[in-house]
A and B are shown apart, each in its own frame.
Chain A
Amino acid sequence: MSVMGTQVVRTEDQNLITLGGHYVDDLREPDLIGAGHVMFLRSPVAHARISALDVSAAREAPGVLAVYTAADLDITPAESPTAEPFLARDVVRYVGEPVAVVITEQRYQLADAAELVDIDYDPLDAVIGFENALADNTLLFPDSGSNVVQTHGAEFAESTFADCEVVITRTIVNQRVAPAPLEVRSGAAAVAEDGRLTLWLSTQNAQIARATVAGALGLEPTSVRVIAPDVGGGFGAKIGADPEAVVLGWVTRTLGRSVTWTETRSENLTSMTHGRAQRQTFTIGGRRDGTVLAFRLEIVQDSGAYPRASFLPTLTELMSSGVYHIPVVEAASTCVVTNTTPIAAYRGAGRPEATAAIERAMDVFAIEIGMDPADVRRANFIRPEEFPFATASGANYDTGEYAKALDLLLESAGYQELRAEQARRRAAGDVVALGLGVASYVEITGGDAGGESGKVVINRDGSVTAFTGSSPHGQGLGTTFKMMLADQLGVPMDKITIRHGDTDEVPKAVGTFGSRSLQFGGSAIRQAAEEVIAKAKELVADLVEAAPEDVELNIEDGVWQVRGAPSAGAISWAQVSEHAGEVDLAADVWFSKVGPTFPFGAHLAVVEVDTETGKVKLRRIIALDDAGPVINPLTFRGQRHGGLAQGSAQALLEVMNYDEDGNPTTATLADYSFITATELPDFELVEMETPTTRNPLGVKGIGEAATIGSTPAVQNAVVDALAHLGVRHIDMPTTPLRVWQTLNEARRQSA
């Protein structure tokens, strides 16, 4: 029986549950024995000119190996008016920006030495918030003439809403949040005797990290090896190599000594990129029968201090019309820089923002015309027979069953009963209000055209080693790929090894982000296995002196045999490998044929809101996430669980805040409302599988989907709970204070 689609416990876990894995800071490699400890000194102010920088006392402190500043660095970022320096030279632009780097013999000497670095900052006005940035009164990069670093998207026509009976415009904020993987950023570096640089990096893609570091240091890529050991979560914020990784490489080469660096959590919360941070103005128009005729989305993307986020709002634009067939869709964006931590990818990266906007808009429209939000959605879904569907914003959806998904979800959840309970409680004047939040979503995965590498080797003993360009860091892809190979080759999973994350073993790869790995990396592994089977067939035919078409692989027993002949004369994989002679029985492929796929689903959140205190309790969350055929339901569900938590976290609790001077006020885990076990319910999952036509596995990505659906579902539920009291919108996070203030405002207006 095939292992595909069955629940398989992860083979990754043994090491993690007994030894706690091997993350960068755990490494005790020979090359890192006696490594110097590295700490970055970071700007404590949001925007300032560095008027004096004296590191002489720090250089004399006990155990100090070196202190470097921008003046010491002989590497510069690529020329650009908004270039991000490796270490700030004259101006700092956010709290947390690296200014100097200290290297000491021992870990605890770092803080002592850092205290002796003397830096004078002449404060400049801080640019905080969308309005301030757009006003251009203070510029982060005076030479570029504006804080606007990118504009993109459609022209808005005057006639867009001309035929609409109802038109509603609203401005909402998709707040800045911190990715906060449990393992902070970490790296180590050493130079071999031949001058070759090795970097161990907590990254989602060693190969892209290598390209960045080698490029910045002026080295040939082959002169740099990057290894991603166990990685403690990434969520998009560990894609590639940050400036600190480049500096680590430079330091080890300059100092002639291996070094190791792990930031603190408080550094991480201000110095690792943040996510989201969009102000969205939507206008939705349609008829009173529920038909939406036009949708417009105007985005301002806060990019933080250095523009790494330009791809985010364009993805938001692309996905702006969601699961609906809306005749006119207009989306456009403006990216601005502010004196805050740079924004980049965070689980969903541009798509949660799109879904949040359209799903809030659908609810706002529903309440305006007095329809149930589920019915408004049904009235506007793209129908199954319309696929492939080209959206007005330029996406080309592959497959979808949006109405079926919502119907199945609501039936499973007992939606009608919940609505009845809500009506009863409202009639009884219950101070704890019940809210139901519906969100239907579609997202894009494997949206990049990057492709992926996969190599399958049959070893002499008949075991299998596969090398993948995917770079799993919690997703369980190692187990998934073993299942696929066991299914294709008939080799038991415990005879299969999956290797990843070392540029010497896998020189060319794209890595793991954007829910791309199964589609690209999985398809590459599958194709490589197919090619190995084809080669083996020739070898077996030669061995048994039969025609290739007369030999077949008996998957059940994992042996080759002549078609129709007894299995007694079967040929093992070891024999085939042996017969290959000097050459490895292997196939090395680059898979790039896959097009983007569009996972979809529907979520229902059930909340209780205490109308006296504003406290929200997430009572239930029921999620249907359709990403096509499921290989391992255990890890598939695990990905959804994590997504549900992170989406709920943004809707309920999490926000990265700054005061008007640009001081972060949520810069420790004591202040940042990282969601805990007590704030989440058990998750209820509903299953549906609609394959894509765009890759041989029929699969779509699942890494981000549940984040995308759950965020607006939970937010919509909070607003729905208070709709009867006149509340029409509450920005995220829907904290008790914000809910209470919104309620008071609604009460004042109705009084």
Chain B
Amino acid sequence: MKVTIEVNGKTTTEDVEDRTLLVHHLRDTLGLTATNIGCDTTSCGACTVLLDGESVKSCTMLAAQADGHTVTTLEGLTGRDGELHPMQEAFREQHGLQCGFCTPGMIMASVSILKENPTPTREQVRQALEGNLCRCTGYHNIVSAVIAASGQEVDR
């Protein structure tokens, strides 16, 4: 079937097999490989993208379900002349990533968190990130990154 999705500001129209997951459509059809696949049970959040500005796990929806919607992936966060989004900058400054595999999903989920709650507490960030798994960082610096991106002081 034909699927039209605005991805990172560009309109894309592609023929896809009905069963194509959004994440495979992004990675394999559109070549946007930042979005990763870390599990097959919607548990890890590595594939988190923004659908109409809200975070979704792109392994849990079909490309067809995104027809007519807008999708933002990690690639779409960076400004046109390469300037980093405050969340990208905060992850780097706070050492919120190690192997980097959870990072695209973690950053997209974090962007969504601040949209809902612009000045969360560390505990609120932890609760909001429950659906995003990281094996390397122990989450401490990821929480710090979200706090930093919110403009609050990181005190630990």
Stretch among A180-188, A246-254, A325-333, A580-588 lining the B interface: A180-188
- Collect the chain A residues with CB atoms within 8 Å of residue B17's CB: 108
Any B CB within 8 A of the CB of A678: yes
Q: Tell me if B97 counts as interface (CB < 8 A to partner A).
A: yes
Check if B122 sits within 8 Å of A181, measured CB to CB: no
Q: Digit string of B21-37 for contact with A (CB within 8 Å is 1, else 0)?
A: 00010011001011111
Contacts of B84 in A (CB 8 A): 17-18
Query: Which residues does chain A contribute within 8 Å of B101, judged by CB atoms?
Result: 21, 23, 181-183, 232-233
Q: Is the CB of B143 within 8 A of A182?
A: no
Are B141 and A20 closer than 8 Å at their CB atoms?
no
Contacts of A638 in B (CB 8 A): 95, 98, 136-137, 141
Q: A10-B95, A13-B91, A668-B43 are in contact. Are A677 and B130 (CB under 8 A)?
A: yes
* Interface range for A: 35 or more
From A149-157, A365-373, A468-476, the one touching the partner chain is: A468-476
Residue A738 at the B interface, CB < 8 A? Answer: no
What 0/1 pattern do residues 467 to 496 of A give for CB contact below 8 A with B?
000000111100000000000000000000
A503 contacts which chain B residues (CB < 8 A)? none
B-contacting 9-mer, from A348-356, A405-413, A561-569, A639-647: A639-647
Shortest CB-to-CB span from A619 to chain B, Å, is 12
**Of B38, B42, B103, B131, the contact of A16 (CB 8 Å cutoff):** B103
Among A21, A23, A264, residue most surrounded by chain B Cβ atoms (within 10 Å): A21
Q: How far is the CB of A652 from chain B (nearest CB, A)?
A: 13
Residues of B within 8 A of A634 (CB): 95
Among A663-688, those with CB < 8 Å from B are 668-670, 674, 676-678, 680, 682-684
Does B99 count as interface, using CB distance less than 8 angstroms?
yes
Q: Is B15 an interface residue, CB under 8 A from the partner?
A: no
Residue of A nearest to B98 (CB): A474
Indicate if the CB atoms of A265 and B44 lie closer than 8 Å. Answer: yes
Closest A residue to B126 by CB, please name it.
A677
Contact pattern, B 80-93, Cβ under 8 Å of A = 1, otherwise 0: 00101000100111
Contact between B142 and A677 (Cβ–Cβ < 8 Å)? yes
Tell me the smallest distance from the CB of B36 to a CB of chain A, in Å: 7
Q: Determine whether A107 belongs to the interface, using a CB cutoff of 8 Å to chain B.
A: yes
Which one of B39, B43, B44, B129 has the highest number of Cβ atoms from chain A below 10 Å of its Cβ?
A: B39
Asked whether B138 lies within 8 Å of A182 as measured between CB atoms, the reply is: no
Q: Is A144's CB within 8 Å of the partner chain B?
A: no
CB <8 Å contact, B143 and A677: yes
A13 touches B92 (CB 8 A): yes
B78 touches A233 (CB 8 A): no
* Docked complex: B25-81 residues within 8 A CB-CB of A: 27-28, 31, 33-44, 46, 74-75, 77-78
A334 within 8 A of B: no
Cβ of B97 and Cβ of A17 under 8 Å apart? yes
The answer to whether B98 and A20 have CB atoms under 8 Å apart is no
Q: Which residues of B contact A25 (CB under 8 A)?
A: 27, 33, 37
Q: Is B133 an interface residue (CB 8 A)?
A: yes
Say yes or no: A264 contacts B40, CB within 8 Å: yes
Question: Which residues A16-31 have CB closer than 8 A to chain B?
Answer: 16-23, 25-26, 28
A641 lies within 8 A of B97 (CB): no
Q: List 23 A-B contacts (CB under 8 A).
A: A9-B93, A13-B97, A14-B92, A18-B34, A20-B34, A20-B35, A25-B37, A108-B20, A182-B44, A182-B46, A182-B136, A183-B101, A232-B99, A265-B39, A474-B98, A638-B98, A642-B136, A668-B39, A676-B129, A677-B142, A682-B140, A682-B156, A683-B140
A-B contact sample (10 more), CB < 8 A, given A18-B77, A182-B44: A12-B100, A18-B75, A108-B17, A108-B19, A183-B36, A232-B100, A475-B98, A642-B98, A668-B40, A676-B130
User: Which A residues form the contact surface with B (CB < 8 A)?
Assistant: 9-10, 12-14, 16-23, 25-26, 28, 107-108, 180-184, 230-233, 235, 262, 264-266, 473-476, 634-635, 637-638, 641-646, 668-670, 674, 676-678, 680, 682-684
